[in-house]
Structures are given as C-alpha cells and as structure tokens.
Amino acid sequence: MEHYKLDWHRFNLRQKMEGLSPVTVEEFERKTGADMSSISGSESDSEEGDSDSDYGGTSSNVTGTDNESSSENSLISGRLSSKVVFQNSAGQYLSVHRCILQGKQRNEEIDLVLSLKAVNKKTVWVILMTGGGHFAGAVFRKEVIQHKTFHRYTVRAKRGTAQGLRDAQNRSHAPKSAGAALRRYNEAALDIQDILVSWVDHLKEASAIFVRSPSYNKSIFFGGRTAALDKKDSRIHSIPFATRRATFREVQRVHEVLGNIQVYNETDMSFIFSQSKKMWKTVDDTWEYSVRDALFTACKIGDVDGLQRLLNDPKPVEKMGTAEETETSNVKTPLIFLNKPIDSSGFTLLHVASTAAQKEVVKCLLDIGADPACDNKGQTPYNVAPEKDTRNVFRKFMGENPDKYDYSKAQIPGPLTAEIESKKLEKKKAQKAQKKQREKEQKEEKKKQEMEAEEKKRFAALSDREKRALAAERRLAEQAAATGVSISNARCWMCGESLLGKIPFQYLDFTFCSPRCVQQHRK
C-alpha cells in the first residue's frame, strides 16, 4: 500500500493520463530533483517561521524537505504523508498530524508553524466515530466538555457484518427478513443527527471535526436535506490512523494521539523515513519494547544480576509529550516499568517473579521499590506465589520494613521475624519428637495385636481336650499365686503321677492322667 502513496506513483499516473510511458525511480528523481511540490500539490520546500517560535522556526514538510538526496525526499513523502515534520533550534525533529494544521486541500500559503502555535487550551475539537451499531462522540476543549455514546442492533449475530455493508455487497439479493428490516431501521435512525443538532454551537466553534465512519454509512453525518455536517467543510477530517470500536475511551485515545507531538531526539531522518515494509516504530517504542522483554525474561528465569543491570541502566530516553508539554523534557529509565503492567495479562515484574517462584528476584525487586500492593484483578504478587518459601520472602521483607508499603492491601498476613522463625523451629522440633513417639507406640501396639492374633489362631486350632487342659493349668497357676504356694508340677488326682508333658483328663475340677484313674475316682 505504501507504493500508492509515493509521488513517483502519482507522477506515473499523470504520465499515463497524458499518453506517456511510465518512468523508473531513478529517472523520476533526476527529473523532479528538489521540486517535489509540483507533483503532490503540497507545501513549499521549506517555510521559515518566526525567529521566536517555540519550535525553532523551522518546519520540515513531509513532502518538501530540502535534502541533498532526492531519494530521501520521496521516502518522506511516502512514509509520513499524514504528518508534518518540524525541526527546532536544538536540532530535534518533531512531527504532528497534518490534519490538525490545515484543511483537506493542502494550501502552500499556510504557515504551518503559526498554525501549530494556534492550537492551545481553548481550541475546540469534535471527534465522531461510528461503526457496527456503535456511536461515540465528544467535544474537547483540552478536556471533555460534551460526550455521548450509544449502541443499536445493526450487526447480525454470528455473521459479524453490518446490515448496510451486507446490502451494499448484495444489492440484488438483499435480505428481506424482519431482522434485516430492523437492522436497516436502526442504521437509519436519527439519534446521531439529533445529537449533532444539539451540539450545533460546538460544531460552529470547532477548529477541526474528526469523523470515522464506514463508507456505506456516511450518510448519517452528511446525508439528508438538513445534514448537520457539510462534506465541503475544510474543518472535517478523517482520522489518519487505525481505530478500534467506537467507545468513549477510544474517542479519548484518538484525541490524545492527535494532540501529541512526536519527538525524535537525535534520530537520523533516514531512519525515521525508512522504506521498510514493517510498521515504523519510534525510538521510544523500540526501546520500551526491548526493555520490557528483557525485564520480563530476567524475572521469569531468575537472572538477578541481569535484572539489576537493566534497572540501573543510566541511559535515558525522552518520551513523547502532548502539544502543551513540548517544553518539558521527560526522562524514561527502566525503573518506570517497576510498578507498571509488563505484559498483556496485567502482571507487574513482581507478579512475574512471584509466579515463577524466583525468591531472589522477588527480594531484589522489593528492595529496589517494587510495590507488593499492585493488584491485578484481585491477585497481588503474594497471592500468586505457588509455594510457601516464596510467600515467606514477602513476610520477611514486611518484618524488616514494616512501614514501607501497604501490606494489608498487599494481602500479606503478617511479618516473619527471626524470633518468630526460631519459635516455629522449636515447635516443629517438638512436633517431630511427638510424632516419633507416637509412631513408636503405634509400632508396639501393632506388634501386640499381631501376637494376639497369632495366639488366637493357635488356640482356635486346639481340640476341646487340649483347651480344657490349658484352662486347668491356668486355674492352678492362679490358685498358686493366691496361696503363695509354688506348684511346680501338676499331678493326677487319683494316682499322683506327674502330668508334665501329658494331656490330662478332666472331670469336674479334677485332673487325671488316664481314663482308668477317672473311672476309679467315680467309684
């Protein structure tokens, strides 16, 4: 797409219209030389402003920078056709969007420096955005003084296209359903025109009106006999960059981007107007991306030394300011990322290190100034820690620095001091000893139970006669213990023979050595 914005392409179009053959880039540069304005109809090669200009009095036109290399001229025209580049007395390059300085038709007589200086706190801008059934509009005089948003049903579910676009693509086969009719009605509703009528005073006062609307739906703003806006109004501009859904927040973002002045510091102009197909990024954005990536990696893998080197990097980078802050020099260092979201999930560096259980990195970040109270959707760095040791790092830091952060907001339960740790260690030792004693007792009890089970099993295997003999022996032992007489040997009640090693015969409370003695005793 960049090719079609180049003056070389427009020159070849004119050649074709006149019946001439197209020329190469080299021939084009040789023919045109420094006279670029004759091709694009843009401003003059260079315009000198007042000597007391805040911006150094030198404007570097996008299509008219006077450089030795004509190829660089074409690069400027192709790459920043929507911006005007200035150079201040310090040699820095500044760029602003062209649409805030002049109307649709590029007028060579407009002094761009004076036009830029005319933008002040009292300047009124109106921004109107619509698409997909969403409308958002606002009136700005530095701050928002009027705004309105609403949404109407104009996009069919699951299809994802607005009804007007669908009709434009298939004029001969337009849907005739009730839903399609409702969506067409909503697109043609007069709510937006009513809002513009109520803002008529602001529209008259506005120095610029920025409109973003799909081509099939521009009639909302410019159609009808009583249209609130006129297409020929030089104050009306399209928004010169990509935008998201029409919301109040997006309108505010558009206003902020349009009101910014891009500062390039000492960047080479050949780099600024690079012909690369990739989207050009400012030095600030490139630096910010690389630093974010390096910080995230260091926290994730636990590289404490690398993290300290990054955060202590003294190299500053001037960042972009608003139109009212061009005189204020802001400095960016890696420390600005310490308490800001570092990735799309909203995690800070402390969140990343805590999630990865990098205890040394967590301690390093807390010492440097990372706030543990930074909350991402109810998740503080302490809460996302996966293990107790990592959480204890936060508690130890709380004990060492009780007043440094809001620990209640950080959801850290309490400090962890050396005294508390020693008490916990003693308690842990006592619990370990008790556990060991319990295990010993449980082991002895288990052994007794096993012996008892074995004894039961052995006794159950005896015959009735053997069981009675054992019972008799037990009674004799009990009687001997009661009388104090030691009976070392059980004997037959009839003949007095020793029963040791024999299985006795029992009759009532009597014990005999054989059935014959039992019979004799009964007689």
The mean per-residue pLDDT over the stretch 216-244 comes to 81
Summarised one tens digit per residue, pLDDT across range 244-300 is 888 999 999 999 999 888 877 655 555 555 544 444 444 456 677 788 888 888 888
Distance separating alpha carbons of residues 100 and 210, to the nearest angstrom? 9
- Give 56 or 362, the one with higher predicted confidence: 362
Per-residue confidence (pLDDT) for residue 34, from 0 to 100: 37
Per CATH, the number for 283-416 is 1.25.40.20
Per-residue confidence (pLDDT) for residue 4, from 0 to 100: 61
Mean pLDDT of the chain: 74
For the beta carbon of residue 481, count every other beta carbon within 10 angstroms: 11
Summarised one tens digit per residue, pLDDT across range 315-327 is 544 444 433 443 4
Identical topology for domains 125-152+189-258 and 283-416: no
As a three-state string, the secondary structure of 113-175 is HHHHHCCCCCCCEEEEEEECCEEEEEEEECEEEEEEEEECCCECCCCCCEHHHHHHHCHHHCC
Name the token pair of 328. 């204020």
Provide φ and ψ at 269, rounded to 5°. -65, -30
- Give 24 or 143, the one with higher predicted confidence: 143
User: Percent helix, strand and coil across the chain, each rounded to 5?
Assistant: 45, 15, 40
Question: How large a percentage of the chain has pLDDT more than 90?
Answer: 12
- Give 477 or 190, the one with higher predicted confidence: 477
Q: Starting from the edge strand earliest in sequence, which strands make up the sheet with 58-60, in order?
A: 47-48, 58-60, 83-87, 93-97, 260-263, 321-322
Per-residue confidence (pLDDT) for residue 58, from 0 to 100: 36
Per-residue confidence (pLDDT) for residue 31, from 0 to 100: 64
16: pLDDT strictly greater than 70: yes
For the beta carbon of residue 83, count every other beta carbon within 10 angstroms: 17
57: pLDDT strictly greater than 50: no
- Give 180 or 521, the one with higher predicted confidence: 521
Per-residue confidence (pLDDT) for residue 143, from 0 to 100: 92
The mean per-residue pLDDT over the stretch 159-173 comes to 58
Q: What angle do CA 133, 227, 216 make, to 5 degrees?
A: 40
Report yes or no: 96 and 262 within 8 Å, Cβ to Cβ.
Answer: yes
Residue 436: alpha-carbon gap to chain centroid: 49
60: pLDDT strictly greater than 60: no
DSSP string, 417-436: -HHHHHHHHHHHHHHHHHHH
What's the number of CA atoms in the CB half-sphere (13 Å) around residue 500?
A: 4
For the beta carbon of residue 313, count every other beta carbon within 10 angstroms: 13
Give one word for 84, left, alpha or beta, with left for phi > 0 and alpha for psi -120 to 50: beta
The mean per-residue pLDDT over the stretch 161-174 comes to 59
Q: Parallel, antiparallel, or unpaired for β 125-131 and 208-212?
A: parallel
Per-residue confidence (pLDDT) for residue 6, from 0 to 100: 65
Report yes or no: 458 and 466 within 8 Å, Cβ to Cβ.
Answer: no
Per-residue confidence (pLDDT) for residue 116, from 0 to 100: 81
Per-residue confidence (pLDDT) for residue 328, from 0 to 100: 42
Per CATH, the number for 125-152+189-258 is 3.30.420
Summarised one tens digit per residue, pLDDT across range 376-405 is 777 899 999 999 889 999 988 888 888 888
pLDDT band at 129 (very low <50, low <70, confident <90, very high): very high
pLDDT band at 145 (very low <50, low <70, confident <90, very high): very high
Which among 87, 92, 105, 163 is annotated as catalytic?
163
Per-residue confidence (pLDDT) for residue 275, from 0 to 100: 44
33: pLDDT strictly greater than 90: no
- Is residue 102 flagged as an active site residue? no
- The domain spans of the chain are 2-119+267-272, 125-152+189-258, 283-416, 418-461, 476-522
pLDDT band at 81 (very low <50, low <70, confident <90, very high): low
Per-residue confidence (pLDDT) for residue 165, from 0 to 100: 57
Report yes or no: 222 and 215 within 8 Å, Cβ to Cβ.
Answer: no
